[in-house]
Amino acid sequence: MGSRCLPCQAVFVPPRALCPRCDSSAMEWQRMDGRGKLVAFTCIAIGTPAMLKQGYGRENPYCTGVVELEENARVVARIQGVDTRNPATISVGMPLQVDFLREDSGSGSRTVLAFKPLPAG
């Protein structure tokens, strides 16, 4: 979910309570369709402590990136289903669809925003 500013129609993910463009507080909820394209990415070999605990590392890097949604908002997310050991196979501009992850956070599970390549056709 994101928020849409009623006066200027700007969309924000994560949602904002105050529009940084027009200073309005008149916001409505905006549901995202979950499709977008990859703007930029990295494959992380030396990860955060939480990711290392999940078994990611030098031999098994994970991909994170910036995704531009069809609704004209950008998010940061985990990118699944790509060959992180061969980053040259991952291309900026590739179409993606949302693919939420459930991860153990230590004190229960949490949802992580993730995307995977959109199947061709």
Partner 1 sequence: MRKKRNLSRGVALVGAGMSQFGMFRDRDSKDLFLEAFRAMIASVDKGLDPADIDAFYLGNYSNDFFVRQSHWGAILSDALGLVPRPATRTEGACASSALAFREGVFAIASGFYDAVLVGGVEDMSKGATEVVAEGLGMAAIPYERDVGFTFPGVFGTIATAYFDKFGASREHLMNVTIKSHDNAARNPKAQLSATLEDVMAAKKKRAESKGRTVPNWPDPKAFLRDPRANPVVAWPIHLFDCCPISDGACCLLLVGEELARNFTDDPLYVAGIGQASGRGLHASEDLTTFEATRYAAREAFDMAGIAADEVQFAEVHDCFSIAELLHIEDLGFFPAGHGYKAVEEGQTRLDGSKPINTSGGLKCKGHPVGATGAAQIFEVWTQLRGQAGERQVPGHPRLGAAQNLGGTGGTSTVTVLERR
Binding residue for partner 1 (CB under 8 A) from 5, 19, 41, 82?
A: 41
CA distances from 112 to 16, 34, 115 (A): 19, 14, 10
CB nearer to partner 1: pick between 25 and 48: 48
State in angstroms the smallest separation of the CB of 9 from partner 1.
16
What is the Cα–Cα distance from 62 to 45, expressed in whole angstroms?
7
Grouping H, G, I as helix, E, B as strand and the rest as coil, residue 53 is helix
Size of the site for partner 1 (CB under 8 A): 35
State in angstroms the smallest separation of the CB of 29 from partner 1.
18
Phi, psi of 95 (to 5 degrees): -70, 140
The residue behind tokens 């939480």 is 50
- State yes or no: residue 50 binds partner 1 (CB under 8 A): yes
What is the Cα–Cα distance from 104 to 99, expressed in whole angstroms?
16
Interacting positions 54-113 with partner 1 (CB under 8 A): 56, 58, 61-62, 64-66, 74-78, 84, 87, 92-93, 112-113
Amino acid symbol at 99: D
Where does this chain bind partner 1 (CB under 8 A)? 13-14, 39-52, 56, 58, 61-62, 64-66, 74-78, 84, 87, 92-93, 112-114
